[in-house]
Structure 1
Amino acid sequence: MRWFSMRAAAFALALACGSTAGAFAQQQNIQQENSDAVARALAGGLLERQTGAPVPADRFWAYEVDFNLDGFSEIYVYVTDPACDGVTCGLFLFVLEGDSYREVLGDIPGARLTPPDRIRLAAFKRNDFIDLQLDQKLFGWTGDRYAEVSTFPATSLDGGSFIAACQKSKSNEQPEEGEAERVASECQCQFNRFQAIGFTQADLDQYAAYLGENFDYPTGDKEKAWQAVIKNAQDVATGCDVASGKSQWQPAYFNHGDQPQEKLDFAGFVEACPGQDFILTNRKIGSPDRALGLCGCLAREMPTHGVTQTGLDLLAQYYRNEISDADIDAQDAELLTAHDKVSEACLGLFPAR
């Protein structure tokens, strides 16, 4: 099985060459550095709350990683300590669930002690989150945490109807050399995965009928259940393509700006933003942790709309109620327009409570 790194984009930059590619790689590096800086600004307070004491800035690094591809990042952190106890140091993963950020790896024995170079995102999703490889063990999402995949229920299914329907749906009228073997392998991969994630026979037969002809789409009370079946089936198909190297997982679409970025310091903005009343009282926010999550998104996205360090510092003052709209407009007439575009984009993908 192939794994792909959480930092795959960074490795891809090593392949860039030439002046144009070099400039692109430099800009990509700046974007990554800004994303990492936002993650660090968010992680400091979360770590202090989790461990009971402030963690010095030189003892941890943090990344934004979208484990469920919804466009809203989880916070992945590693705290260094040569004598790590596996409780207040090592690996942490903070996920915004409902009103609060929750650390989701602490209940897994030994998870914190996994060496950073032995951590990978896997090929498949389970319950909307990508599986996580920690050294030699594979973990899947239960709905509120990661757990060893061996603890999940599996099923033993009759795949005859599905395999036939799958192969027929993927086959061309004039097949190329080797196509039959490729199609058979892809369909077998999907069938194996359906069993691994506990698909029922009824779900599999319904999906096989969907791949065939004259499928009657469920309506009424059955429609929601069918949507869940088709979503899981699509995730299985994509996972098989990722495992074979044919494709990779794509994050949710985000309305990024297209302006080149400069390296920024986000600490002042991230500290000021969550305390602003119009952030906290927004109907999609309503809690300090959700406000923190939104502010992280705002910080990450504003550079894509051309916001500079001067603009970010002005917004921090604005969020602290030290300056007015008119004061900002007098110094940067485009800043609040960019801020509003970013706010709309971040709120549009913000997780439900």
Structure 2
Amino acid sequence: MRLFSRGAIALAVTILLGCMAGAVAQQTENIPQQNSDAIARKLASVLLERQIGAKVPAERFGAYEVDFNLDGFSEIYVYVQDPACDGVKCGLFLFVLEGDGYREVLGDIPGARLTDPAKVGLGAFKRKGFIDLQLNQTLASWNGERYADSSTFPASSLDGTAFIAACRKNKSSEQPEEGEAERVTSECQCQFNRFQTIGFAQADLDTYAASFSENFVYPTGDREKPWQALVKDAEDAGTGCDVVSGKSQWQPAYFNHGDQQQQRLDFDAFLDACPVQDFILTNRKTGSPDRALGLCGCLARELPTQGVTQTGMDLLTQYYRDEISDADIDAQDSELLAAHDKASDACLAQFPAK
């Protein structure tokens, strides 16, 4: 089977990341979300067993797909129950696919695993691409590899005179409305404060301030990539300030499960067969067992959005086991392979680079 086409939560600061079946049971039935959770639980069972060194009974953990770096590809958020939790083999886990493998990214923060799931929330700002997490009293930020206590990050002390002036001029309209000057000043001050928090260098701040001028010459060549990274950090700071003020919000940190009516499906057999299939494991975008697992998780989530039923999922499972051929599938469901290919295209389009 080809992995390419056959022809060639609204997010706000106060949103809590609910865990465990009790919270789900109180909600109205949401079959697409239930399918997503079932996939997350299957992937989590594999990742937890490797992390802990032993299989975790299904009744002891809940797992959810989240998207804290807003790249369209899920991270796996897990809570393992244990009345006598030691903070090592139970509690909170967050698995992120980067490079060739999944990494658990909360374990380096003292006490993070022991955080009450009801006291986990999303922060207003992003750092290095990931949204901050509020773990009870600890604000956790991304350090480029994992989450860490934000109080351990170095800050900078900057002269913001030029930036504040340029920012206010850039944001002010030619015919200001009442109260606009105060609002603009507050927004620019918030961004400046954030630049210091994330450790901007004075030269970077001055360059960014200069970019508001019509005569600014945008960097090219070897300087273009660092400039783009600087602009992304500045834009994230601006969005975070808008979130704080209630003016805007980040795009949802959950997934759009499509508008196709879905059935509640069993994905376990498919997710056992898919990652070990040679054309998945050796695809140029995968190339490792963990990346194959992540891609298969995405496929499982996308297939129901293409109208695939349990019968279709079972046929695809047989195909991934090399038990039936393309012709066998077409004879039973002439639209199934086309639906699979659309799901494959969607997943490969958002699959993280190595």
Query: Equivalents in 2 of 1:236, 1:189: separation in Å?
Result: 8
Aligned to 1:16: none
Runs of at least 5 residues in structure 2 that lack an aligned partner in the other structure: 1-11, 19-26
Call closer, same or farther: CA 1:36–1:53 in 2, change over 3 Å: same
Q: How does 1:79-98 map to 2 (within 5 A)?
A: 79-98=80-99
**How much identity, in percent, do the aligned residues show?**
75
Aligned to 1:5: 15
**8 A contact 2:66–2:76 mirrored in 1:** yes
Query: Equivalents in 1 of 2:33, 2:217: separation in Å?
Result: 47
Aligned to 1:145: 146
Call closer, same or farther: CA 1:254–1:215 in 2, change over 3 Å: farther
- Paired AA for residue 69 in structure 1: L
Call closer, same or farther: CA 1:36–1:130 in 2, change over 3 Å: same
Residue 5 of structure 1, CA deviation: 2.1
Q: How does 1:333-352 map to 2 (within 5 A)?
A: 333-352=334-353
**TM-score normalised according to structure 1 size:** 0.91
Residue 44 of structure 1, CA deviation: 0.5
- Paired AA for residue 236 in structure 2: D
Residue 122 of structure 1, CA deviation: 0.5
- Paired AA for residue 170 in structure 2: S
Residue 212 of structure 1, CA deviation: 2.3
Query: What secondary structure does 2:185 align onto?
Result: helix
Query: Equivalents in 1 of 2:231, 2:165: separation in Å?
Result: 18
Query: What secondary structure does 1:339 align onto?
Result: helix
**How many pairs are equivalent?**
335
Segments of 4+ in structure 1 off by > 4 A? 251-257
Query: Equivalents in 1 of 2:89, 2:253: separation in Å?
Result: 33
Query: What secondary structure does 1:347 align onto?
Result: helix
Q: Confirm whether residue 286 of structure 1 aligns to residue 276 of structure 2.
A: no
Aligned to 1:61: 62
Query: Equivalents in 2 of 1:288, 1:311: separation in Å?
Result: 25
Aligned to 2:163: 162
**8 A contact 1:39–1:62 mirrored in 2:** yes
Aligned to 1:128: 129
Call closer, same or farther: CA 1:160–1:132 in 2, change over 3 Å: same
**8 A contact 1:95–1:103 mirrored in 2:** yes
Aligned to 2:276: 275
Aligned to 2:326: 325
- Paired AA for residue 13 in structure 2: W
Query: What secondary structure does 2:211 align onto?
Result: helix
Residue 258 of structure 1, CA deviation: 3.8
Query: What secondary structure does 1:139 align onto?
Result: strand
Aligned to 1:36: 37
Call closer, same or farther: CA 1:252–1:227 in 2, change over 3 Å: farther
Aligned to 1:188: 189
- Paired AA for residue 5 in structure 1: I
What RMSD in Å do the two structures reach over aligned CA positions? Answer: 1.9
Q: How does 1:296-311 map to 2 (within 5 A)?
A: 296-311=297-312
Call closer, same or farther: CA 1:257–1:132 in 2, change over 3 Å: closer
**8 A contact 1:254–1:345 mirrored in 2:** no
Residue 257 of structure 1, CA deviation: 5.2
- Paired AA for residue 76 in structure 2: I
Query: What secondary structure does 1:206 align onto?
Result: helix
Aligned to 2:265: 264
